[in-house]
């Protein structure tokens, strides 16, 4: 079966223990020549705004806001930082919370409600918010609406209670049947559980790659199968339909490591919302940071030749995601056509999706 390709990530998830907030991912400029991104006017003056939680309980806030002289940032109803159009502040001493939110308020224009992207849970290492990104038109993707994650089988009772408080209402499991059987999901009380098997019916990955080059090719081919395979089209159509219909969000989609099948789901969502491709790539590559401790643990227990074969399967790399976009271009010609013909998302539904998930 298709166990071979996913064996490494299954082991990685099993060995994962915990992960402190990862450094912000960066990526070189990367743009699809056939994308329809454009610059435009937005009521939100922020061109950059981030929250990064530290291991010591502190929060580093960074921002840049054009056309404004003063920015004020509140947490728990109190001002915790002030500055000019550009700034950086470290906030300490805030009370413990499931998730610490910050209100970025410019002198003029609309503000932003942001938190650290990582959701710290005992049973996952790659559970994070899909939002908090700026689109090419200057709008921002809301946070607290859509989450992406690695496997949920190791969630603790405290984790499940936390997800319930975070309003996780729908869980999409992108894994194969053998993965779901071996490591069954734990979902928060009251949440709907939906199987959306990306590789259903696929005949790929019959054997484990024997060399690093074969492993890279397997990952590239897997990404293409996510786009062109019937299982992938059906699964991602389910996810988008669920996001559109669940107005009482939050929605969560996940696979085993939260990086490949989940990575394409999030890349598709962000691209559909108009997030620039270099930002989409940075979000995709961030799994290397969030999963570093787990991946290093796996590789450290393998003989060097075997580790060399496994590493490409534990990684996310630009060529993997790019092969998905290449498949979109080859099969559909444009991303909008992929959304419409591949996933069944027409112009009206896309407009509604943007209305629901964007601010500004």
Is residue 207 annotated as a catalytic residue, yes or no? no
φ/ψ of residue 123, rounded to 5: -100, 5
List the one residue out of 273, 311, 284 whose CA is nearest residue 25.
284
Q: Which residues contact 261 (CB under 8 A, 6 or more apart)?
A: 174, 175, 198, 199, 226, 235, 255
- CA-to-CA separations, 67 to 71, 137, 275, 358, 359, in angstroms, rounded: 11, 16, 22, 21, 19
Is 308 exposed, middle or buried (CB count within 10 Å of its CB: 0-12, 13-18, 19+)?
A: middle
Separation CA 136–CA 36 (nearest Å): 10
Which DSSP string do the residues of 35-83 spell out, in sequence order? --------S--EEEEEEEE-TTS-EEEEEEETT-S-EEEEETTEEEEEE
Pairing of strands 170-173, 251-254: parallel
Separation CA 308–CA 221 (nearest Å): 19
**Is residue 313 within 8 Å of residue 218, measured between CB atoms?**
yes
The pair of structure tokens assigned to 125 is 């290492």
Residue with token string 């404004």: 68
Determine what percent of the chain falls in helix, strand and coil, rounding each to the nearest 5.
40, 20, 40
State the catalytic residue, choosing from 10, 255, 280, 328.
255
Q: Estimate to the nearest angstrom the gap between the alpha carbon of 88 and the chain centroid.
A: 25
- How many CB atoms within 10 Å of residue 47? 14
> Catalytic site residues?
255
């Amino acid at each position: 079966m298709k166990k071979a390709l996913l064996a490494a990530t299954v082991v990685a998830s099993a060995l994962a223990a915990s992960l402190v907030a990862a450094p912000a991912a960066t990526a070189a400029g990367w743009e699809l020549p056939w994308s329809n991104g454009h610059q435009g006017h937005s009521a939100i003056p922020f061109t950059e705004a981030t929250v990064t939680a530290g291991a010591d309980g502190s929060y580093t806030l960074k921002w840049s806001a054009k056309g404004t002289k003063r920015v004020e940032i509140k947490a728990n109803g109190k001002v915790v930082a002030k500055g000019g159009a550009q700034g950086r502040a470290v906030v300490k001493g805030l009370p413990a919370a499931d998730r610490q939110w910050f209100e970025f308020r410019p002198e003029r224009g609309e503000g932003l409600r942001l938190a650290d992207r990582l959701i710290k849970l005992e049973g996952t290492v790659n559970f994070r918010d899909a939002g908090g990104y700026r689109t090419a038109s200057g709008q921002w993707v809301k946070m607290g609406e859509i989450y992406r994650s690695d496997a949920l089988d190791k969630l603790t009772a405290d984790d499940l209670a936390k997800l319930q408080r975070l309003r996780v209402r729908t869980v999409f499991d992108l894994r194969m049947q053998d993965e779901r059987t071996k490591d069954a999901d734990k979902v928060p009380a009251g949440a709907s559980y939906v199987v959306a098997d990306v590789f259903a019916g696929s005949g790929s990955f019959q054997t484990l790659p024997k060399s690093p080059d074969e492993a890279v090719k397997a990952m590239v081919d897997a990404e293409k199968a996510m786009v062109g395979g019937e299982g992938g089209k059906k699964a991602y159509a389910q996810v988008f339909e669920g996001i559109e219909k669940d107005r009482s969000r939050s929605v969560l989609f996940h696979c085993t490591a939260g990086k490949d099948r989940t990575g394409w789901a999030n890349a598709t969502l962000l691209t559909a919302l108009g997030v620039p491709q270099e930002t989409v790539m940075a979000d995709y590559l961030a799994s290397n940071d969030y999963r570093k401790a787990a991946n290093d643990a796996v590789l450290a227990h393998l003989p060097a030749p075997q580790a060399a074969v496994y590493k490409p399967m534990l990684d996310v790399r630009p060529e993997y995601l790019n092969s998905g976009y290449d498949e979109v271009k080859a099969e559909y010609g444009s991303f909008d056509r992929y959304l419409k013909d591949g996933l069944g998302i027409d112009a009206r539904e896309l407009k509604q999706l943007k209305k629901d998930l964007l601010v500004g």
